[in-house]
Amino acid sequence: MIRSMNEYTQNTRKGVQVIEIEEDQDNQRIDNFLVRVLADIPKTRIYRLIRKGEIRVNKGRIKANHRLKVGDIVRIPPVWVGDESAEVRVPPGLMKEIEQCILFENDQCIVINKPSGLAVHAGSGLRFGLVDVVKAMRPDQDYVELAHRLDRETSGCIIVAKNRKTLIFLHEQFKSGGVIKKYLTGVVGHWDEGNKTIAAPLKKNVVQGGERMVEVAADGKSAVSHFTLLQHYPGLSLLEVILETGRTHQIRVHAAYAGHPVAGDKKYGDKRSNQILKEKGLGHLFLHAHWLELFLPGRVEKLLVTTPLPPDLQQVLTKLESAGSK
């Protein structure tokens, strides 16, 4: 787990940017698009730029939920945060650690076993994310883009495209359900529902203080998760989860909806249970993307990449098992 990311603060400056929307960006909300393009700028600043009309699409003002179309021209004004004289540098030790986390690499992509604690993009007080680390590791690589996302505290398989053709190809698979993603998660309590499919629509809300929360709601977007029980431990159940959809915080919200929140989840979880498990060594969210199966351009066979639970999560299970046998 990355433990020292918070010591890096944002310092960045960007000039005017004029971007033409391409096929792989079609139908994307302008706020989500800007979060990616201005990855090192706080989201509050981005939304303020939209509200003040400083972000223009085809020379006109837009709202945060505006959806982009191929050929749209987006103008982003100069923005800067912090001390522009400070140079962003990825620590060599972190680059070495991530280099050792590479599970697969060819001329099309890199699959990385992302550690818990490392965000995929800069922002929210972090001067860099996984994408920046990969760019620092591969300085001669002109194109580096994430094909999908993982929450900062979620560990496991994540794929980075090395060219636009591969990115579009992967995006189409994710949209059509052609990518198989499996997760290992420890949930609080004794899961007694065996293999269970949860089909509960999810909706994003912004609550007091500006924190973004996701909840089950009838008017939300379709979300389907398949839970399979693997093993019971004292106070915790180990499950495998296969996603049909890829909504924000989907596993975490569906698990909490089933009455068994993900262990270590500070947003949707149970404080008392989290404290008990913390005493057993659980220092972060118990959620790990352990299986990624998909096609790459020009390949006849699917690429299958797997990675076991990180040692710290496995150690928690060992302690729980040992305690239960006494």
Q: Is residue 82 part of a domain?
A: no
Q: Which tokens sit at 36?
A: 């990616």
The tens digit of pLDDT for each residue in 41-75 reads 777 788 888 988 889 999 899 999 999 999 999 99
Q: Among 126, 152, 172, where does a domain finish?
A: 172
Supply the range of the domain harboring residue 22: 17-77
Alpha-carbon gap, residue 128 to 110, rounded angstroms = 18
In this prediction, residue 7 has a pLDDT band, given cuts at 50, 70 and 90, of very low
212 pLDDT higher than 70:
yes
The tens digit of pLDDT for each residue in 255-295 reads 999 999 999 999 999 889 999 999 889 989 999 999 999 99
Query: Do both 166 and 281 map to the same domain?
Result: no
Residue closest to 293 by CA, chosen among 146, 157, 120, 112: 157
pLDDT of residue 190: 94
Query: Do both 106 and 243 map to the same domain?
Result: no
Query: Do both 29 and 160 map to the same domain?
Result: no
Q: Among 145, 172, 199, where does a domain finish?
A: 172
Query: Do both 290 and 196 map to the same domain?
Result: yes
Q: How many distinct structural domains can be found in the chain?
A: 3
Query: Do both 100 and 196 map to the same domain?
Result: no
The catalytic residue among 40, 72, 132, 151 is: 151
Tell me, yes or no, if 40 is annotated catalytic. Answer: no
Q: Is residue 129 part of a domain?
A: yes
In this prediction, residue 6 has a pLDDT band, given cuts at 50, 70 and 90, of very low
What is the mean predicted confidence (pLDDT) over 15-20? 84
Q: Is residue 264 part of a domain?
A: yes
Tell me if 220 sits within 8 A of 292, measured CB to CB: no
CB < 8 Å & 24+ apart, contacts of 54-59: 55/30, 57/30
**Strand partners of residue 37:** none
Tell me if 202 sits within 8 A of 247, measured CB to CB: yes
3-state helix, strand, coil in the chain (%, to 5): 25, 30, 45
Query: Do both 189 and 269 map to the same domain?
Result: yes
Look up the CATH number of the domain holding residue 97: 3.30.2350.10
Q: Is residue 57 part of a domain?
A: yes
Q: Among 140, 172, 204, where does a domain finish?
A: 172
Alpha-carbon gap, residue 78 to 63, rounded angstroms = 19
Query: Do both 243 and 294 map to the same domain?
Result: yes
pLDDT of residue 193: 85
Query: Do both 147 and 201 map to the same domain?
Result: no
Q: Is residue 10 part of a domain?
A: no
Q: Is residue 1 part of a domain?
A: no
Name which residue leads in pLDDT, 98 or 193: 98
The tens digit of pLDDT for each residue in 120-174 reads 877 555 667 898 899 889 988 888 999 998 999 999 999 999 999 999 999 999 9
10 pLDDT higher than 70:
no
Tell me if 41 sits within 8 A of 123, measured CB to CB: yes
Q: Is residue 156 part of a domain?
A: yes
pLDDT of residue 202: 95
Look up the CATH number of the domain holding residue 71: 3.10.290.10
Query: Do both 198 and 117 map to the same domain?
Result: no
In this prediction, residue 236 has a pLDDT band, given cuts at 50, 70 and 90, of very high
In this prediction, residue 312 has a pLDDT band, given cuts at 50, 70 and 90, of very high
Q: Is residue 262 part of a domain?
A: yes
In this prediction, residue 211 has a pLDDT band, given cuts at 50, 70 and 90, of low
Query: Do both 252 and 320 map to the same domain?
Result: yes
Query: Do both 186 and 243 map to the same domain?
Result: yes
Query: Do both 54 and 99 map to the same domain?
Result: no
